Chain A
Amino acid sequence: MTTQRIKFYQTGTYTAGNRLLDDEARTVQSRPDRTNSLNSGHRACQGCGEALGARYAIDAAMRAAHKRLIAINATGCLEVFSSPYPESAWQIPWMHSLFGNAPAVASGVAAALRAKGHDDVKVVAQGGDGATVDIGFGCLSGMFERNDEVLYICYDNEAYMNTGIQRSGATPPFARTNTTQAVGEAPGNLLGTGKNVPRIAMAHGIPYVATASVADLHDLEAKVATAMGMKGARYIHIHVPCPLGWGSDPAHTMKVARMAVESGLFPLFEARAGRVVDRTKIRRKVSVERYLELQTRFKHLFEPCRNDEAIAAIQAIADEHVATYGLLESEGL
């Protein structure tokens, strides 16, 4: 096997590049023996956060499972861009059934493996926010409460992007989508709607729940590895910017994701058995405006005239997260 020197140029972050780390601390993705589970050549858009998140997550899961992994995929962007017949970007056993049943299909795979005594093989299910928080929610909750041997990964890009940017239960307040347009008295998505599925997952008392972001891929991989090392139902909710749906520059995917984390809008935390046990502190808090202004889905909050009330409401959500998860505190939770 040949090794290749990989250079990381990450500016404006505190992240240490892999080249500065010793071998064991480097990411799975930086290793020559990574699986390339989701191989190159797929049809995701430029700057797709979901493709990035899935590549890191599934390769990390493969490493943790010693390459004994089966992946189940809900209908959505990830499924469509990775498997247009007769091509498939998947180098692992992979199945797509329906939009709303990935958690149940994964439970079935896990049950079959148990029945057959294939205890070394692990199961991951994955889907977008629509598949997870909306149409597949019943099956997801069932998989959770039965504590089935499945790691479910949600790639949250905050709307139905595959069908052309429509609102989901994960769409943030004020965001413009094609079914919450920037018109009328309350432009964009309504404040006070939507659901927090990581918290709902925690309420099931499952062994492990975590949020992650493509802004911190080290952390993302580590959480996948942690989850893979545990038994029962596990849930990881990954924030993945969608340049197309969010109206952000494809070159800014990492920046947008990082602003979501550093503003407090998308808190990174881990929970075990229903209790938050760790969180990633914000090292340099930014205002939500820094996040919002990168995306045309929030343009109506700034033009033609600035909507101070709406921006303040979004800032209040971020501040609430900071307080709830202790994102600025030096110690404890």
Chain B
Amino acid sequence: MRAQIEGSQAVAEAVVLCRPEVIAAYPISPQTHIVERLSRMVKGGEVGRCQYLNVESEFGALSVLIGASAAGARTYTATTSQGLLFMAEAVYNAAGLGLPIVMTIANRAVGAPINIWNDHSDSMALRDAGWIQLYAETCQEAADLHLQAFRLAEELSCPVMVCMDGYILTHAYEPIDLPDQSEVDSFLPPFSPVQVLDPSDPISIGAMVGPEAFTEVKYLAHRQHLRALTLVPDIADSFEQQFHRESGGLYRAYRMTDADTVIIALGSVIGTIKDTVDELRDEGIAIGCLKVGCYRPFPAMQLRAVLESVTRVIVVEKDLAVGIGGIVSADVRMALNGLPIPVHTVIAGLGGRSISAESLKHMVRDARAERLSEPYFLDLNMRVVDEELARRQEERQAGPLAEQLIRAVKAIGTKVV
């Protein structure tokens, strides 16, 4: 059924179509619309015997799902930002226990300074926790990825994060196709756990493992994770066959034929980048774009195969590894190891700053002229930065940085968009 609905509502509807059995969540913007809708549907009796638990924290939310999943239930939660970090210990634990929990991340910046707007700092911080990470470009894809995520998680016994940009997708209204229940039922079989807490067949789960076997446990988890590199495209293909639209997959290439310059990115900014690519192609620039849809496991060999003949790669990433620079770009460099292809790191869209086509075009021109600093901060207001640095030079007790910068930005009259 096609309807003009909010991204969050679409995700909630998609999750319900997957017949979840236990949902536990703690409210945090911009995830709230998803879980509000789910709680309403559960309470209204629209989700079978599904249980919805209002818990005391994100750590509690994921812990509830760890228990529920181990008891054989299909489980779901959604969070973001501080909430994801607050549950971090349980994030690792769920993966280590091999529990196929599906969690939506409504991507948001991580403080301090506190900031509720979009970037990818939150999910990037947990990228190596052992969860599969899928990134949605559109509201439609965000909804579709949940159907694929449950199938992927349960086939591999591995938890999956579906990452969608906070506000940009969670709060956007778009025409979205939602499949029928019968279609989803034929796409997603009932959950058949590989381990379950059952009094008829008692097992111990979560035992201590010492140095004699810990490496092997981790190695096998890594092997299992890598299986997703085959399974993600397989599931995306079978999704396309059944629902007749492209969603998911390891990566998607856009106008890559004969491209010398390729922009790599994750999430909703791909839309703006595609528009920019179109405009630059019109100007005669051989440019394309590569969307990374599955970031963990990282499809290094696959990306290398599609990038090996390009001249340069620009990674536009909504995160910052303080003290080193890029996160995604480091992985891309590893994928292209030994090839004479420069990989530029562009830090963009932090804390919800808009990424405009105009800025991206400047970036591309600078990259092609080899004028990009490394890493390059898109739309960085150097005037404010220099002023603050000078002030700090003069004054030891300079006070809180964030508050001072806000004042400086306003004093100068720069519009922060």
Scoring B residues 193 to 208 as 1 if CB is less than 8 Å from chain A, else 0, what string do you get? 0000111011111111
* Interface membership of A193, Cβ < 8 A: no
* Interface membership of A299, Cβ < 8 A: no
B67 in contact with A72 (CB, 8 Å): yes
Stretch among B56-64, B243-251, B344-352, B359-367 lining the A interface: B56-64
* Interface membership of B226, Cβ < 8 A: no
Shortest Cβ gap from B89 to chain A (Å): 6
* Interface membership of B49, Cβ < 8 A: yes
Residues of chain A lying within 8 A (CB to CB) of residue B60:
101, 104, 138-139, 142
Residue of B nearest to A62 (CB): B199
Stretch among B70-78, B118-126, B153-161 lining the A interface: B70-78
* Interface membership of A199, Cβ < 8 A: no
A112 in contact with B54 (CB, 8 Å): no
A109 in contact with B197 (CB, 8 Å): yes
Cα-based distance from A293 to B198 in the complex (angstroms): 46
* Interface membership of A332, Cβ < 8 A: no
Cα-based distance from A90 to B213 in the complex (angstroms): 21
B207 in contact with A83 (CB, 8 Å): yes
* Interface membership of A116, Cβ < 8 A: yes
Which B202-237 residues sit within 8 Å CB-CB of chain A? 202-210, 213
Residues of chain A lying within 8 A (CB to CB) of residue B68:
108-109, 111-112, 115
Given contacts A90-B202, A138-B56, contact A85 B208 (CB under 8 A): yes
B203 in contact with A115 (CB, 8 Å): no
Given contacts A70-B197, A93-B198, A95-B70, contact A108 B64 (CB under 8 A): yes
* Interface membership of A229, Cβ < 8 A: no
A-B contact count (CB 8 A): 161
* Interface membership of B32, Cβ < 8 A: no
With beta carbons under 8 angstroms apart, the residue of B48, B61, B71, B89 that contacts A112 is: B71
Given contacts A108-B24, A112-B72, A117-B49, contact A101 B199 (CB under 8 A): no
What interface size band does chain A fall in? 35 or more
* Interface membership of A92, Cβ < 8 A: yes
Scoring A residues 125 to 147 as 1 if CB is less than 8 Å from chain B, else 0, what string do you get? 00000000000001101100110
Can you list 29 A-B pairs with a CB-CB distance of less than 8 A?
A70-B199, A84-B208, A84-B210, A85-B210, A88-B204, A93-B197, A93-B202, A94-B197, A97-B67, A97-B90, A97-B97, A98-B89, A98-B90, A104-B55, A104-B59, A104-B63, A105-B70, A108-B64, A108-B69, A109-B68, A109-B71, A110-B67, A111-B53, A111-B68, A112-B71, A139-B57, A145-B56, A146-B53, A146-B55
B residues at A contact (CB < 8 Å): 21-22, 24, 48-51, 53-57, 59-61, 63-73, 75, 89-90, 93, 97, 197-199, 201-210, 213
Extra pairs beyond A85-B209, A95-B205, A109-B68 (11, CB < 8 Å)? A85-B207, A88-B204, A96-B206, A105-B67, A108-B65, A108-B67, A108-B75, A111-B51, A115-B22, A117-B49, A146-B55
